[in-house]
Amino acid sequence: MDFPLSSLCWTRAPKVYSICPDEIRITTEPGTDLWQRTYYGFQNDNAPVLQMTTEEAYFSFTVRTDFATKRRFDQCGIVLYLDSDNWLKASIEYENDRFQRLGSVVTNLGYSDWATTDIPAQIKSMWYRLSRRGSDYCVEYSYDGQRFQQMRICHLHKGAGQIRFGVYACSPEASCFEAVFSRMELSECRWPAHV
């Protein structure tokens, strides 16, 4: 990691985790999730989130995730969590032994969306890159850490000024698994300006 570990701060620490210079491990707990209101009629705001704070308006954050998901909706990935009603996340959510969903959720003013694409259930590693340009954000994914593909571009209504971003892992159903985060990097913004 190319930033001090002391810059990381928990929002709801899990019971089991480790933070080392080269990797972060989180063991999820059953019944943990991030979701607000839309469609399902419930609100969940209890997933462990480990973040750093910045006022830098232009940057990219990259991380590799490795995971042993096994139950429906098990997930881990990147997150930008401001408060219960304003955040975004990107992850792979396990569905069954045939497929899982690579997707992202943007929550503005207390309402979540969910954009996904199905991928094989055998994939157990993924890279993510979050880039910021003011209060607009680009989320990308990569299988190898070299070739990134766009997942979405979005706006956070409260995403200007000081923000917090990092990683999360959760198990919305009766499950637990270990998520491993490595190769975390902060860099200049790799999301080109639109011309």
| Residues facing 19 on adjacent strands | 24
User: CATH no. for residue 103?
Assistant: 2.60.120.200
Q: Across the chain, what does the average pLDDT equal?
A: 95
The total number of structural domains in the chain stands at 1
pLDDT of 1 reads 62
Domain encompassing residue 68: 5-187
Indicate whether 175 belongs to any domain: yes
101 within domain boundaries: yes
Per residue, the 3-state secondary structure of 91-122, as one string, reads EEEECCCCEEEEEEEEEECCEECCEEEEEECC
Kindly report, residue by residue over 2-33, the tens digit of the pLDDT.
678 889 999 999 999 999 999 999 999 999 99
Residue at 174 is within a domain: yes
pTM given for the model: 0.95
Position 37 scores a pLDDT of 87
Given this model, what pLDDT does residue 39 score?
76
Q: What is the pLDDT, as a whole number, of residue 28?
A: 98
172 found inside a domain = yes
